[in-house]
Amino acid sequence: MMRIAIVDESAARASIIQEGLDELEDCEIFVVADRRGLVARIGEIEPDIVLMDLGNPSRDVLEEYFSVSRALARPIAMFVDQSDDESIAASVEAGVSAYVVDGLSARRIRPLLDLAVRRFNAFSRLQSDLAEAKGKLAEREIIDRAKRILMDSRDLSEPTAYSEMRKAAMNQGRRIADIAEAVVTAHDLMGEK
């Protein structure tokens, strides 16, 4: 069951979005008309996607809705009647998956919903891949530092220093990065340079 939150202070505009979602099966729709406590209300609903229609929002209103976008880890499609480059850039920075200018019509809702979900999923995969790559790089750096410490302190070759850490990791049932972290921590605690 897909949970969809529609955020719109205008009942007429919200009904256009609801009409565009009529053909969806297994879908639960929540309309949020009040901006007060919006993040908390969206948190209670726990939607799979958020559709926001803002009409002609002021900068303050846009920033308020962007804060909602930053707080949620969900696909968000935002509809506005008019926009400028700064607002578009801010929406991308805030994590809005689809920013639609002057495009609110019932027949466009479903394709825009699909687009928002796909872009959100693609962006999430990129973020996950980036975090994984950063983690591996950090592990590689700590392993290299530990090897240098062992090479300098015990007069070992690089392959021998790595072999010693690998052997310790296997004997203790730990990852080599954990052993390397322990070597670096012990070295730092001893105050050695």
* CATH number assigned to the domain comprising residue 83: 3.40.50.2300
In angstroms, rounded to a whole number, what is the distance separating the alpha carbons of residues 63 and 94?
A: 9
List the helix and strand counts (H, then E) for the chain: 7, 5
Same domain, 8 and 52: yes
Task: Confirm whether 119 is domain-assigned.
Answer: no
Same domain, 72 and 164: no
What pLDDT is attached to residue 152? 95
Same domain, 22 and 63: yes
Task: Confirm whether 112 is domain-assigned.
Answer: no
Domain that holds residue 141: 131-189
Same domain, 26 and 86: yes
3-class secondary-structure state, position 50: strand
Task: Confirm whether 121 is domain-assigned.
Answer: no
Side-chain-side CA neighbours of 7 within 13 Å: the count stands at 29
What pLDDT is attached to residue 96? 80
Bridge partners, 6 (sequence order): 31, 51
Same domain, 18 and 92: yes
**What domain count does the chain have?**
2
Per residue of the chain (193 residues), give pLDDT as tens.
889 999 888 888 888 888 888 878 888 999 988 877 877 888 889 999 888 877 666 666 677 777 777 777 788 888 887 777 887 777 777 778 887 887 677 888 888 888 888 988 898 899 899 999 999 999 999 999 999 999 999 999 999 999 999 999 999 999 999 999 999 999 999 876 5
CB–CB of 56/81 below 8 Å? yes
Say which residue the tokens 């019932």 belong to: 106
3-class secondary-structure state, position 130: helix
Please give the single-letter amino acid code of residue 29: I
Same domain, 56 and 150: no
Task: Confirm whether 51 is domain-assigned.
Answer: yes
User: Which of 104, 121, 156 is a domain's end point?
Assistant: 104
Task: Confirm whether 114 is domain-assigned.
Answer: no
What pLDDT is attached to residue 93? 77
How many other C-beta atoms can be found within 10 angstroms of the C-beta atom of residue 153? 13
Backbone angles phi, psi at 49, to 5 degrees: -150, 150
What pLDDT is attached to residue 56? 67
Task: Confirm whether 30 is domain-assigned.
Answer: yes
CATH of the domain at 144: 1.10.10.10
Task: Confirm whether 58 is domain-assigned.
Answer: yes
pTM: 0.66
